[in-house]
Every structure is written in structure tokens, then in C-alpha cells.
Amino acid sequence: ERRRRTGRRTILQSYVNECCNLLDSLGVPYIRSKGEAEALCSILNYTGMADGVLTNDSDSFLYGATTVYRDLHTTERSPTVECYTMKDIHEKLALNRSDLIALALLLGCDYCPQGVVGVGKETALQFLRASKSGSQSTSDVLDQFQEWRNGSITEDDIESKIQLTVFRYSYYYVSNVG
């Protein structure tokens, strides 16, 4: 298995090198990322230095991309690509970047693969909407989630206990604070 992955990586690297040589020959500038290329591309898109990010990975919006192109298929007759924008996501789903980060943490992502055990899409959305319906912003919810994951919030804390209940049973909770 490892040999096969290494072989694929070598083939991919040779394609990347060929593309870079072609771009050099054409005088087209490019950037080679030392780390997570998707994160760099997302930042370039966010700052307006790139029109979008072409990827099949959905983490680009979490990194800050505003436009993502997915499922590029090149056929002679009809090349296709799907385009997603944060503007459309916000207008159609009422979700912003912080909301998407919270959902990724709850459901699982590259940096938190298992997410919260027993929490699916519906429960995560209910939790997020219930948390935001009080005085909390999504950033507050993310901070509390991080503290909970790190173990600094325990079930002895009343507010946390209520929110952990929302996690587990997906009841709506509206905070009276504020």
C-alpha cells in the first residue's frame, strides 16, 4: 500500500513539475505551497489575489475562500464545473464562515475527524441555531466548544451542562442571559 501511495505521489509530483515548467515557459506566475495548498489558495481567494479555489475538498470555505469550484470534468464536448460561493451559502442557508467551522467541528473534518460522537447534520444545525438564538454569536459557541474539547469546561458548570444536553439530545435552548 505504501509503495503504491509513494508511486502515485511521484507521478503527481512529475505532473506538477511539468505544469510549473509550462507556466514558466509562458511567463505565468505561480506559487508552490510548502504546506496545505488548499489553505494558501483559500487565503489568496479571500484577499482577492485569486478568483476562486478549484478543489473537491470542502475545507476551503473554512480557510476563508469566498468562491470554490468543484467537480471539474473535462470532456471534449462539454466541460463542467460546479461553483459555490459564500454569498450563496449565506443567502440560501443563513450560514457564515464561523457557522461552517462549527459544523465541521461537530460533524468531523480534517482536524477533528470524528467530530462529536452521535451528532449528525440535523442535530448539529439544531444546536447551532439554538445556540445563536440567544445572545451568543457563533464565535462564542466555537470558543465554548474548544474549551469543552480541551476539558476546561466540565458538566458541573450549569451553562455547559445545558449546552452539553443540547449536544446529546438536540433540544432547543434559548439563553436568557443578556
Helix (H) and strand (E) counts for the chain? 8, 3
Mean pLDDT value across residues 129-141: 67
What letter does residue 111 receive in the DSSP assignment?
T
Higher pLDDT, 147 or 177: 147
pLDDT tens digits for 28-74? 888 887 767 888 889 999 999 999 998 888 789 998 999 999 988 87
Please tell me the predicted confidence (pLDDT) of residue 65: 94
Q: Examine the pLDDT at 174 and tell me if it is beyond 60.
A: no
Please tell me the predicted confidence (pLDDT) of residue 146: 65
Residue appearing with cell numbers 470554490? 68
Q: Where are the beta strands (DSSP E) in the chain?
A: 53-54, 67-73, 80-85
| CA-closest candidate to residue 125, choices 111, 107, 148, 145 | 107
- Using DSSP's 3-state secondary structure scheme, residue 161 falls into helix
Please tell me the predicted confidence (pLDDT) of residue 31: 81
Please tell me the predicted confidence (pLDDT) of residue 88: 97
Cell numbers given for 87: 454569498
Residue 101: Cβ within 10 Å count: 21
70, β-bridge pairs:
82
H helices of 64-134, in order, are 86-93, 97-107, 121-132
Cell numbers given for 74: 473535462
Please tell me the predicted confidence (pLDDT) of residue 135: 60
What letter does residue 49 receive in the DSSP assignment?
S
Please tell me the predicted confidence (pLDDT) of residue 70: 92
Mean pLDDT value across residues 113-139: 76
pLDDT tens digits for 152-167? 555 455 445 444 544 4
pLDDT tens digits for 7-35? 666 787 888 889 989 999 999 888 887 76
pLDDT tens digits for 71-99? 888 777 888 889 999 999 999 988 888 88
Please tell me the predicted confidence (pLDDT) of residue 171: 35
Beta strand pairing status for 67-73 and 53-54? parallel
How are the residues of the chain apportioned to helix, strand and coil, as percentages rounded to the nearest 5?
Answer: 55, 10, 35
Residue 19: Cβ within 10 Å count: 11
Please tell me the predicted confidence (pLDDT) of residue 4: 54
Q: Examine the pLDDT at 169 and tell me if it is beyond 50.
A: no
